[in-house]
Amino acid sequence: MHSSPQIAANLSAVRRRIERAGGDPDAITIVAVTKGQPVEACLAAVAAGLTVLGENRVQEALAKMDEVPGARWHLVGHLQGNKARHAPRFALVQSLDSTRLAEALAARGRVAALLEVNVSREARKSGVAPETAVAAASAVDGLVDLRGLMAMGPASGDPRPAFAELRRLREQAEQRLGRPLPVLSMGMSGDLEAAVAEGTTMVRVGQALFGPRP
């Protein structure tokens, strides 16, 4: 059973980790990833002050949205084109990974999104190739309300080089677009220190807040 005091204690620990890594916990958005967690855990997270919740799957998010007042939902997992009609329900789609998907989202209105970049270059991960990321950002800008870039760290090894590359790609995309892209979403429970060191503005944390999934 998840309790607000326990999640609040875990949140304090996450904020201390951010601070020790040189970041400002008040300036970095903590997205509480509720994949596999019951509605009770989502409610406890909101009560503990975590108002931005992230889900990997559209259907799981939709089942929880109406049950958890006061939350803003981000989609952090892969979005299939046939689920694009649900995108306006999310405050932010963090997993935009193709121009085709951007076109599907554009048909649903002005959807806020991050371009996902596969900076770890791992075949099992979604995202555009780093070599094409700046061109992709230019292609999707206007189709969606592009807010920035998102990436997952590598499955093993030092994540800092991958996160540093995402930061550089964000800077290059800003130059190409001629405007700021304020969001850099990188860092999860296991590698948030490396992401903070490389300038993340948003971390996606599940296990460090809720413990292992049920």
Q: In this predicted model, what pLDDT tens digit does every residue of 83-100 receive, in sequence order?
A: 999 999 999 999 999 999
Q: In this predicted model, what pLDDT tens digit does every residue of 162-213 receive, in sequence order?
A: 999 999 999 999 999 999 999 999 999 999 999 999 999 999 999 999 998 7
Handedness of CA 151, 194, 212, 32 (dihedral sign): negative
Q: In this predicted model, what pLDDT tens digit does every residue of 64-86 receive, in sequence order?
A: 999 999 999 999 999 998 999 99
Tokens for 19, please give them: 């601070």
CATH of the domain at 184: 3.20.20.10
DSSP 128: B
Domain count of the fold of the chain: 1
Full domain range(s) for residue 96: 4-210
In 3D space, the residue among 186, 206, 175, 18 whose CA is nearest the CA of residue 114 turns out to be 186
Helix (H, G, I), strand (E, B) or coil at 96: strand
